[in-house]
Structure 1
């Protein structure tokens, strides 16, 4: 079968590989779409600390069940909770396997879903609602990331929110915040095309090249600042500014994972009694909730998909994402087009 394989730093190629060997409890899927994530970009550059070549990429996949299993029937469309936990460490023993001390993921530590077929444990699969399109379903995994982030932030309806970074994760964060009742959602980026897209979802765009998020947000909140801020960029300047954008007693949720330690204004954290919280992935229950939410915001999830590449051309995907002229937001690989 065909698969997109990471073969070494800055080297990916579409290869013919053998089909996976089924394991007890697994079911065969025909892969339909797979989203491309920031972690896939890191792997392709050789910068992911765990991913080892050769590796089939992709953890944001939608598949169609090929044959009846114990829980699913042939033809069911399913998405996979891709986390692999040890079950023995302290986080696992205390109900937090999503932050297992040795957490692994499909598509990072074992072969992933940018391929024609795969065998996946039935216990981690969720059936996609019938009225959710294939394109929207392929965005459920990053949606789960935001479900978790919003839970971590203790966001409340009518809160004023800010999102720094209008990439796929930031865009989905803004969409969900609007859906859950935010009174205003400000979103900043330096990419004008992404900011135009954010406006379509009802967000208030801030071009970080020409505007100050702090000034815009405080002008709109009588000088107080936003109730909750989601840092989705990983940029050094964002780490320095996020405390000034957020009000006294407000919450900052770190959704991005900076590659190096960044400077943060800890004095603001003290003097404004702010809360800063991290978020990494999602629980299995939050993944299930994301599947349900997908039916409620299906039109927006479809719109966030800016480009679809056929599997046969998927080795070009990372160059395309890096080229700002393409204006990519969320890119999917069509695993049926070989």
Structure 2
């Protein structure tokens, strides 16, 4: 079968690979779409700490079940909870398998879904609601990331919120906050195209090339700052600014994984009695909730997908994303177009 394979730093090849091998309890899935994640970019660049070549990329996949099973009918569209936990460490034993001490993921530690077919553990597959389009369904995995982040943040209806970074995760964060009743949502970036997309979803877009995020948010919140801030950029400047933008007693939720230590104003955290909380992927229940949420916000989810690349042309997908002139937001691979 054909697949997109990471073969070494800055090398991704559309190539023939062996057909997947059947396993007991696993279901053959014909891939339809697979999203490109920031972690896939890190793998391509050779900077991911675990991914090793050769590797079939992709953990944000949507597919069709190829045979009737106890749980599914042939033709059912499914998405997969891609986390692989050991089941034995302290986090796993205490209900936190999503932060397993040796957490692995499909598409990072084992072959993923940018391919024609895969065998997937039936227990991690979820049926996509019939009302949800393919383009919306392929965004369910990143949506689950946001479900977890919002749970971690303690966000409440009518809270004011700031999102730093208008990539796919940042925009979906703002989208979910809107649907959950945020009174104001500010989002910052330097990419005008992505900020315009955020404005379409009702967010207050702040281009930090020309505007100061702290000044904008405080001017709109009687000088106080926002109730909850979601850091989705991984940028060094965001680490120092996040406590300035957040009000006294507010919460900072770290959604992005910062690749290096950055300066944080810990005095603000003391004097303003702020809360900082981390978030990492999602629980299996939160993934299920994301599947359910997808039916409620399907129209917005579909709009996140800016580019669809045929599997046969997928070798060029990382060049497409790297060139800011292309205006990418969420890029997905059409795994049936070979």
Aligned to 1:271: 271
- Which residue is 1:224 aligned to? 224
Q: State the shift of 1:311 in Å.
A: 0.1
Tell me the residue number matched to 2:312: 312
- Residues 174-195 of structure 1: CA distance to partner in whole angstroms, max 9, x if unpaired? 0000000000100000000000
What's the secondary structure of 1:119's corresponding residue? strand
The unaligned stretches of length 5 or more in structure 2 are none
- 1:234 partner SS: coil
User: What CA deviation, in whole Å up to 9, does each residue of 1:197-245 have, x standing for no partner?
Assistant: 0010000000010101100000000000000000000000000000000
4+ runs deviating over 4 angstroms: none
Where does residue 26 of structure 1 map in the other structure?
Answer: 26
Matches within 5 A, 1:167-316: 167-316=167-316
Distance in 2 between residues matched to 1:244 and 1:14, nearest whole Å: 46
The alignment partner of 1:142 has SS state of helix
Query: What is the distance in 1 between the residues matched to 2:151 and 2:44?
Result: 31
Q: CA deviation at 1:319?
A: 0.6
Q: Give me the whole-angstrom Cα distance separating, in 1, the residues matched to 2:204 and 2:31.
A: 36
Residues 1:89 and 2:92 are matched in the alignment: no
SS of the aligned residue for 1:214 comes to: helix
Question: Structure 1: how far apart are the matches of 2:213 and 2:297?
Answer: 27
CA–CA distance in structure 2, aligned partners of residues 288 and 15 of structure 1: 33
SS of residue in 1 equivalent to 2:188: strand
C-alpha separation in 2, matches of 1:72 and 1:27: 9
| Cα-to-partner distance string for 1:261-298 (whole Å, 9 max, x where unaligned) | 01100000000000000001000000000000000000
CA distance in 1, matches of 2:68, 2:208: 51
Which residue is 1:129 aligned to?
129
- 1:157 — aligned with what? 157
Matches within 5 A, 1:102-141: 102-141=102-141
TM-score by length of 1: 1.00
Residues 1:144 and 2:144 aligned together: yes
- Give distance in 2, aligned partners of 1:24 and 1:261: 44
Structure 1 unmatched runs, 5+: none
Query: 2:10 maps to which residue?
Result: 10
Deviations 1:99-153 (A, max 9, x none): 0000000000000000000000000000000000000000000000000000000
TM-score (norm 2): 1.00
Q: How far did residue 70 of structure 1 move?
A: 1.9
- Per-residue deviation, 1:19: 1.1
- Paired residue secondary structure (1:223): coil
Aligned mates of 1:199, 1:85 — CA distance in 2: 38
- CA–CA distance in 2 between the matches of 1:238 and 1:290? 27
SS at match of 1:157: coil
C-alpha distance in 1 between matches for 2:268 and 2:333:
43
**In the alignment, what sits opposite 1:37?**
37
CA drift at 1:18:
1.1
Distance in 1, matches of 2:31 and 2:208, equals: 38
Aligned-residue offset at 1:21: 0.6
Distance 2:44 2:298 in 1: 30
